Structure 1
Amino acid sequence: MESSSSDVITASEIENCSHLQVPVYSSEELFEKLQEKWNSGKKKPYPAMYSSVFGGITLDPALMVIPIDDHMVHRGHGVFDTAIIFDGWGVVDVKLDQGYLYELDVHLDRFLRSASKAKIFSPFPRSTLRSILVQLTAVSQCKKGTLRYWLSSGPGNFLLSPAGCPISAFYAIVIDDDFSQCKEGVKVITSTIPMKSPLFATMKNVNYLPNVLSVMEAEEKGASASIWVDEEGYIAEGPNVNVAFITQDKELVLPSFDKILSGCTAKRLLELAPKLVEQGLLKIVKTTNVTVEEAKNAAEMMYVGSTLPLLPIIMWDGQPIGDGRVGELTLALSDLLWVDMKAGPETQRLSVPYV
């Protein structure tokens, strides 16, 4: 097969390449290069990271790295989860300022379930993982943001099998993010990107390429994100969020979790929403299979996710949801979650002193 003209490297290009001098850095020089990005004086978005590879916490973003031969990097053999930092660790009065990680234990339990499905064994027991996450949050001094953490089959080689990896790896990072309650409605589309099979959809693993392509597709069409529909024609989920509906009969309905990720915030919503039933604002709260026709005929629609906690959806595939405006029940549900996040049950409060 002949090469096209675009595949041919010209003599001038070869000459230019021959003049390219790739530097070889000493460890000191490399460290300086890595730090250049973070020396602008701006607030650092990642105040602290833990890595089991070096067995501790670093506050220097230039050192927040993962080995390239980690199987999570080149094979996608890893799982992750996230917790919200709310009313976080301040510097005024360490005895009074005790923030919390919202729903930490629920997220950590799901994290370990995902690891089990992915056949990744944690290098530490659950209690140690939790302690590391709490201490990392304390050291970061982050007042509001997210705590993201990963379990990987670990570094060791570039093969498919992790058999040659000496030990699994645990990483965690604090992300400083001043998020707020979402009250503006967004537009969504039905994704044409194939959704994950139930095994991978119910496991929070690092293979997010379908999710990325799904969001990119939505953005290219002027939408915020997308909705996946399964092969049976039932509503599944969004790229990294659950989806919920208020029917014309004022029922709160979420798609069943058997083929999709069981969102921790979605489950918390199901626990809190009966308060609106008691007030007579909602008729019932349930999970069930939802067809596309039923979903598009809903009175209100919303995404449900950790940092939202609810994001109103007002248009889907160019068709208004309800009257095309953010619904009152959506805002009421959002308030329930937001108040719950701000209140921080005592069981979620951190007990490690400020470091």
Structure 2
Amino acid sequence: MNALQSLLKPIPQSPISGAELTAHSQRPLGKSCNSRQWSFRRFRIRCSIADTVDRSSDAPVLGSSQVLERLRASRENQENQPQFLAMYSSVVGGITTDPAVMVIPIDDHMVHRGHGVFDTAAIVDGHLYELDQHLDRILRSASMAKINLPVSYDREKIKNILIRTASASKCRNGQLRYWLSAGPGNFLLSTSGLHQPALYAIVIQGKPPSPPKGIKVITSSIPMKPPQFATMKSVNYLPNVLSNMEAEEKGAYTAIWLDSEGFIAEGPSMNVGFITKDKEFLMPHFDKILSGCTAKRIITLAERLVKEGRLRSIRFENLTMEEGKKAEEMVLIGSGVLVSPVLQWDEQIIGDGREGPLARALVDLIIEDMKSGPLTVRIPVLYE
């Protein structure tokens, strides 16, 4: 059998090893291997490589209908999946109630650069709670993040879209979450080549507000964001996530940050307040942390307790961790936790280790406000 006949032999079905491929492909051309023989050799190598690839198992090429089918199946197969009831996207210019297509483009700068801001409004008994206050804050955050509004959008249009999305969801108790993004268009750092910013909103089914249970917190070892970023509600939440994970790993609900001067700052997604033995309600200044809409509302509502004589005063104060741990009562305040009493911070028991009467009074005030407060904080949703 001559050399050409040898090259034309049937290609073995078993794949060749990487070492064999390397040796075979790097064999020098000489008198015993002319250009035609080399072409056959490369052909055999390519065929052998192809035999090692299973084209049907890991990454099939799917059509759009197959993708949609798999997205729906993926949602259905997930246990404890939140119920996403409606989503608005300015990219498509409308609302969908199909969770399988509640997606955003992979090249959106909010996804791969974290260039986006967000906020949340609770839906309670068919009303949007503090929508105007949260909407004002997301617009401030967008300005700080140098994110313009999409073309032809203004505050009133965004508000109407959010209310319309809540209406389409038919949700009477849950959350309306919404984002302003630099928008899709490329994977660069610069936003100059993007078409326009984007607005997204989604409604998530929830339950009516109820009094939270007492919790444990720890002091975070994860550095908090500097004031320029901490005071805007951006999607850059990696420090927040890591801080919360650290707490959960230590058997706590969440963590508390201290600022660069050692004063108490905030939690990863909530403000913190203290009630002293002298019945003063103290909170950290908002100059280095996020200005919580729920926290500001609690301050307004707590004036009622001052008038009743149950609180002596309400004020902002720089507090050290040692001072905070000596408080009679400690609470976390936020749209997700409402007013949650803290019973333990690190190894220190707060007060007598039980939910305090003023923490419970603040909880009752905020729940009452969410259910029957004035129109300045409750916007009725007109369901279709």
Is the shorter-chain TM-score for this pair beyond 0.5, marking a shared fold? yes
Match of 1:191 among 210, 213, 220: 220
- Note if contact 1:183-1:331 (Cα within 8 Å) is conserved in structure 2: no
Query: 1:85 maps to what in 2?
Result: 123
Match of 2:173 among 104, 126, 144: 144
Distance 1:34 1:288, change over 3 A: same
Match of 1:282 among 295, 311, 328: 311
1:318, distance to aligned residue in structure 2 (A): 1.2
Residue identity over aligned pairs, in percent, reads 57
Task: Specify the code of the residue in structure 2 equivalent to 1:85.
Answer: I
**Aligned partners of 2:247, 2:111: CA distance in 1, in Å?**
26
**Aligned partners of 1:345, 1:61: CA distance in 2, in Å?**
33
Query: Quick check: 182-191 or 220-229, which moved more?
Result: 182-191
1:263-278 paired onto structure 2 within 5 Å: 263-278=292-307
**Aligned partners of 2:129, 2:103: CA distance in 1, in Å?**
26
Larger Rg: 2
Query: 2:88 maps to what in 1?
Result: 50
Task: Specify the code of the residue in structure 2 equivalent to 1:53.
Answer: V
Query: 1:19 maps to what in 2?
Result: 54
1:29-108 paired onto structure 2 within 5 Å: 29-39=66-76, 45-88=83-126, 100-108=127-135
Query: Quick check: 329-338 or 67-76, which moved more?
Result: 329-338
**Aligned partners of 1:16, 1:331: CA distance in 2, in Å?**
69
Is 2:236 aligned against 1:207?
Answer: yes
User: Could you report, residue by residue, the CA deviation over 1:287-314 in whole angstroms, capped at 9, with x for unpaired residues?
Assistant: 1211111101100001000132111100
- Note if contact 1:182-1:312 (Cα within 8 Å) is conserved in structure 2: no
Describe the SS at the equivalent of 1:163. Answer: coil
TM-score by length of 2: 0.83
> Greater RCO between the two (CA within 8 Å, min separation 6)?
1
Task: Specify the code of the residue in structure 1 equivalent to 2:66.
Answer: E
Is 2:245 aligned against 1:216?
Answer: yes
Query: 1:111 maps to what in 2?
Result: 138
1:189, distance to aligned residue in structure 2 (A): 0.4
Match of 2:287 among 258, 262, 270: 258
Is 2:202 aligned against 1:173?
Answer: yes
**Aligned partners of 1:10, 1:27: CA distance in 2, in Å?**
40
Describe the SS at the equivalent of 1:18. Answer: coil
The runs of 4+ residues in structure 1 deviating greater than 4 Å are 14-17, 39-44
Distance 1:328 1:350, change over 3 A: closer
1:33, distance to aligned residue in structure 2 (A): 1.0
**Aligned partners of 1:172, 1:17: CA distance in 2, in Å?**
45
- Note if contact 1:47-1:176 (Cα within 8 Å) is conserved in structure 2: yes
Stretches of structure 1 lacking an aligned partner (at least 5 in a row)? 1-8, 89-99
TM-score by length of 1: 0.90
Task: Specify the code of the residue in structure 2 equivalent to 1:58.
Answer: T
1:349, distance to aligned residue in structure 2 (A): 4.4
- Note if contact 1:179-1:307 (Cα within 8 Å) is conserved in structure 2: no
* CA RMSD across the alignment: 2.1
Distance 1:349 1:223, change over 3 A: closer
Match of 1:308 among 337, 350, 370: 337
**Aligned partners of 1:17, 1:132: CA distance in 2, in Å?**
53
Equivalent pairs counted in the alignment come to: 334
- Note if contact 1:75-1:160 (Cα within 8 Å) is conserved in structure 2: yes
